Amino acid sequence: MPTTDAPIAHYQAVADGVFCIETGLYRDGLAACYLLRERDRLAFIDTGTTKTVPSLLGVIADLGLTPEHVDFVIPTHVHLDHAGGAGALMAACPNATLVTHPKGAPHLIDPAKLSAGASAVYGEDAFARDFGALQPVPEARVIAADDGQRFDLAGRALSFIHTPGHANHHGCIFDAGSGGLFTGDTFGISYRAFDTEAGPWLFAPTTPVAFDPDTWQRSLDRMLALEPVAAFLTHYGRIDAPAQQAEQLRRSIRDLAAIALEHADAPQPARKDRIKEAITAHLLTDARGHGCTLDEPRMRDLLAVDLELNAQGLEVWLQRREKPSR
């Protein structure tokens, strides 16, 4: 049995050979990544941050395997809650190949721009505290996946599907072994604390910088055409019968875009704050309509990170719309 001094993140099996791992970002239940196991071969989908990696190695050891058993590291996109730990995890897993969207691959090979952009969004101190230093991945170990490209995990087929809309470098992974789809952020956010008798509550993350509502809707069409039995969300966990849940997310994409457009003529620099107030009121009302009984301070606390990032992303979207086309 392999031994390790690394801490073990809490994790649970959520499908045959699929483990949902808590990454420890900000609070418990906010961000996960996934480990797939087929016989003695492993694949990570999303990685958490650099600071998550020791715990991921602890999970491998807890399963009786070693980093040498990891064949693939597959970030759905390069936002740091999904891919911040990719470089450090690849360095620890000598046989692994990193698979990601062609538009994201250069930022994992050379993460300088990624670090600078994330520092601008989160602030330098918060970036260093929460995400740590990003390690580059050698180009020879990276595959920029074609749309629909299949990868073999000990006979288990994983298909990488390009799904822009939340980010232009986003991909989802369909796992033939479980019939599930690893959705990153493209199937939205659904924190388990908001579950009610009506089921999970979903909303759209409009995080900077590439929110594109029309393209996102088309990506959802492609995802649902695969008829997945479950969606495995980074934020957070397994959602069953995604086809029955999709209209919530479609409506959220439309509603958040409409809120931004309603404030398009608001004066700067206060526009982003007005958007944040509006989406806060909208999401709290929407959660109440879904049957959520949490008190408002608790709801605001659970949504605090998303409210700020959603407002920033919608502001960036408006700025892009305002630029004259060439």
Structural domain boundaries in the chain: 11-322
CA distance 23 to 9: 7
Q: What is the pLDDT of residue 116?
A: 85
How far apart, in whole angstroms, are the C-alpha atoms of residue 197 and residue 211?
Answer: 31
Q: Is 131 helix (H, G, I), strand (E, B) or coil?
A: coil
Q: Are 182 and 76 spatial neighbours (Cβ–Cβ below 8 Å)? A: yes
Mean pLDDT by 10 residues, the chain (326 residues): 62 98 95 98 97 96 97 96 96 98 97 83 82 92 98 98 97 98 98 97 95 98 98 98 97 98 94 98 98 98 97 96 74
SS3 252: helix
| Whole-number pLDDT of residue 126 | 83
Measured in Å, how far apart are the chain's first and last C-alpha atoms? 61
The highest-level CATH class for domain 11-322 is alpha beta
Q: Which residues contact 222 (CB under 8 A, 6 or more apart)?
A: 161, 163
Residues sharing a CB contact under 8 Å with residue 325, sequence separation 6 or more, in sequence order: none
Residue 238: in which H helix or E strand, if any? strand 237-240
Query: What does the pLDDT read at residue 6?
Result: 64
